[in-house]
Amino acid sequence: MALFTSSVDIYKYFLDGIRKYGVGSVPPERFNRLINESQLNWMKSKCPTITAGQKRIDDLRAILVELDEAFLHGGTGSTIIGNKFYLPTGSLYGSAKKYWRAAALRAKTQTATEWTQMVYEDSSQKSISQIDPYEKPDSEQGKYRIIGSNVIMNIGEGVTVYYAQFEYYGYPTEISYNPPSNPKGDFADEQILEIVDLTVQTHLERIESRRFPTFAAEDTSKPK
């Protein structure tokens, strides 16, 4: 049986969490801001790296989106123009989630049978790859950069990318205590529990930080 079936359940769990520490109620509007801020911070803590554990990868699977060659292709009505394509930030790719973080990119020419794995290249690495022949992008390992809303691909000098597969993490559905819809977001109970616990911690820390200046002011006003 699911622990959270709507944001009402999440809100109640949050209130139970703060009341354990003697903290009073929080209005729904503030809860909505806190929970969605915590959801993004939780996602940042889980964002996979090269050494990421399987749980961290699994935790974000609910917001992992793949744009395959059906979306990213050259030719008539192409989305790849001049070896670049637009990030999913609007309605270009239908109902696909808005881009948050890149996960993986593969590319190939019109006649290639194998995909070229792409690695991200920042501006400092780009200058190195221009002079070091071992760092130059090729059909074995390509390079890509993200500039503004464009993903720019390079799989070798003068080589045209015709197909691409792009995996990315999209922005999550907001959790909102907003009857009668009360969306609970994208994540499963295990992940929501972690997000709510982080929200409780954030709220308690902010209450404490507001109290501290008051205590400090009282202390300095006492006669020495």
Give 164-193 pLDDT, tens digit per residue: 999 999 999 999 998 778 889 999 999 999
Q: How confident is the model at residue 219 (pLDDT cuts 50, 70, 90)?
A: low
Region 26-45 average pLDDT? 96
Residue 215 pLDDT more than 50? no
Question: Which residue is listed with tokens 């974000």?
Answer: 60
**How far from the centroid of its chain's Cα atoms is residue 27's Cα?**
27
Q: Give the model's pLDDT for residue 54.
A: 80
User: Regarding predicted confidence, which is higher, 32 or 58?
Assistant: 32
Q: Give the model's pLDDT for residue 89.
A: 86
Region 124-130 average pLDDT? 61
Q: DSSP secondary-structure letter at 134?
A: G
Region 108-135 average pLDDT? 79
Q: Give the model's pLDDT for residue 56.
A: 79
Q: DSSP secondary-structure letter at 73?
A: B
Q: DSSP secondary-structure letter at 87?
A: -
Write the Ramachandran bin of 91: left for phi over 0, alpha for psi from -120 to 50, otherwise beta.
alpha
Q: Name, in order, each residue with C-beta under 8 angstroms of 23's C-beta and a sequence gap of 6 or more.
A: 203, 204, 207
Q: Give the model's pLDDT for residue 202.
A: 96
What integer best gives the mean pLDDT of the chain? 87
The pTM for the full model equals 0.82
Residue 60 pLDDT more than 80? yes
